[in-house]
Amino acid sequence: MPLTLRYAARSDVGLVREGNEDSGYAGPHLLAVADGMGGHAAGEVASRAAIDELVNADQMPDGDPIDVLSAAVSAANGRINDMARSDPSRAGMGTTSTALLWNGVQLALGHIGDSRAYLLRDGSLTQITRDHTFVQSLVDDGRITPEDAREHPARSVVTKVLQGQSPIHPDYSIIDVQAGDRVLICSDGLSDVITDHDIETTLAGAHTVDDAADQLIAMALDAGAPDNVTVVIGELVEADTAGTDATAETFIVGSAAESIEDGRSPEFHEDPETMRYAPRAPRRRRRRWLRPALAVAAVMVVGWAGLTYANGWVRDQYYIGVSGGQVAIYQGVRHELGPVHLSELYDVPGGLPLEALPTVYRDEVGETIAADDLDDAEQVIHTLRLRACRAHQRETTQTNAGDESLSDDVGFPGLLCSE
């Protein structure tokens, strides 16, 4: 019996973020999620551009589905490159891209970044993508456990995304499916706060894919939803049970949908013919010295604007480092331009000596840990303090049998854990 695809998509801005940088799509042959990054560098633009290009693959593939999907991903990367080049404020923007292309028999998977794809079969959930993140490399090397990775202060550091650079190296594979299988693609706004076990239970227990999508979004919100949350779900069903309207509509969610609701096209391109034939003012005679003077003035204006933009960008950056043996927050970037330092000490929260951290975290702080913003930096400090306190609480408990109280220093001089 031939199979067909039922699908649903949902996205929510979450409870902390001001805007939605996720974009998602679900159609008769394509399921996709793109999680934009870059903040002021327009992560929402990058995710929207990726979905715009991936949507072109939503049709029965003519040939190898991996080739079709690879071409769409490459087109998305190229478009992001063009957009970043045309607008300096978008330099550094990027997006994850995880997509499944249905050819009527199998699913082709294309993946780059830390959005995830899962397969549910007979009630058992399997992650079919590998996170392209720093903490995943630590898990692969056996330096930390998957459980530790969920609370690691650098868990949001991705190692591969679509950022307009070439070459790109997404993961591609073919997924064999059968009737009753369900697939889920989600941004890390879901997988960071909801365990695989809870995802499995919800995905298996929901009556329809729409119910599953609604429940997963609600679970993320109940868990605090510190990030945007996007889920795209597909279900393989026998064709004669799918119904005549099973593949009639498509779903666009997140940032891509917001641009449509606002009446804005994804990108505005000036008509080159309009520019070419625009009326021109008659030329006037000008003094010979005027042109070089205007050129110098233009250079000065551009230079001033560039310095202003650069200074603003640097002041929006934060990272975690060390000051006087204590874990501290720095504002700026850890670089120097000759004698000029591009960062300064922002805050020393206190009560968190570097030596109190477990070795793996101590090394990372020594190399510095980048943060998305000040709130993220403070959250990293909180997580590091938690890891240190837990480690030394275990040591104290082992050396003081029967005494389970948690003192301010928890067995390590200067380490404050009480809240």
pLDDT tens-digit readout, 332-387: 876 655 455 677 888 988 888 999 888 878 888 888 898 888 888 898 988 888 88
pLDDT attached to residue 284: 36
pLDDT, mean of residues 117-123: 98
Nearest one of 251, 256, 247 to 60, comparing CA atoms: 247
Q: What is the pLDDT, as a whole number, of residue 285?
A: 37
pLDDT value for 372: 82
Q: Which two tokens stand for residue 103?
A: 């050819």
In contact, 76 and 283? CB cutoff 8 Å: no
In this prediction, residue 186 carries a pLDDT of 98
Instruction: Specify the range with the lowest mean pLDDT, choosing from 111-115, 190-194, 275-279, 363-367.
Output: 275-279
Higher pLDDT, 409 or 210: 210
Q: How confident is the model at residue 40 (pLDDT cuts 50, 70, 90)?
A: low
182 neighbors 209 (Cβ within 8 angstroms) = yes
Q: What is the CA radius of gyration of the chain?
A: 25
Q: What is the pLDDT of residue 195?
A: 96
Between 182 and 306, residue with greater pLDDT: 182
pLDDT for the residue 367: 83
**What pLDDT is stored for residue 265 in this prediction?**
44
Q: How far is CA 332 from CA 304, 320, 322, 329, 345, in A?
A: 19, 11, 14, 10, 9
Higher model confidence: residue 300 or residue 33?
Answer: 33
Give the amino acid at 257: A
Confidence of residue 246 (pLDDT cuts 50, 70, 90): very low
- Distance between CA atoms of residues 81 and 165, nearest Å: 7
pLDDT number for residue 399:
55
Q: CA angle 14-100-61, nearest 5°?
A: 140
Q: Per-residue pLDDT tens for 44-71?
A: 999 999 999 999 999 999 999 999 999 9
> How many percent of the chain have pLDDT more than 70?
77
Question: Could you tell me the residue ranges of all domains in the chain?
Answer: 3-261, 300-419
pLDDT given for residue 270 in this prediction: 33
At residue 240, the pLDDT reads 72
Mean pLDDT of the chain: 83
Whether the predicted pLDDT of 146 surpasses 90: no
Of 20-34, 75-89, 235-249, which gets the smallest average pLDDT? 235-249
- Which residue would you say has higher pLDDT here, 402 or 199? 199
- Quote the pLDDT of residue 264: 47
CATH number, domain 3-261, options 3.60.40.10, 1.20.1050.10, 3.40.50.720, 3.40.50.1970? 3.60.40.10
Amino acid (one-letter) located at 69: L
pLDDT of residue 253 exceeding 50, the answer is yes
pLDDT in tens, 296-335: 666 565 555 555 555 565 667 888 999 888 999 998 876 6
Q: Rounded distance, CA 342 to CA 187, Å?
A: 33
Percent of the chain scoring above 90 in pLDDT: 51
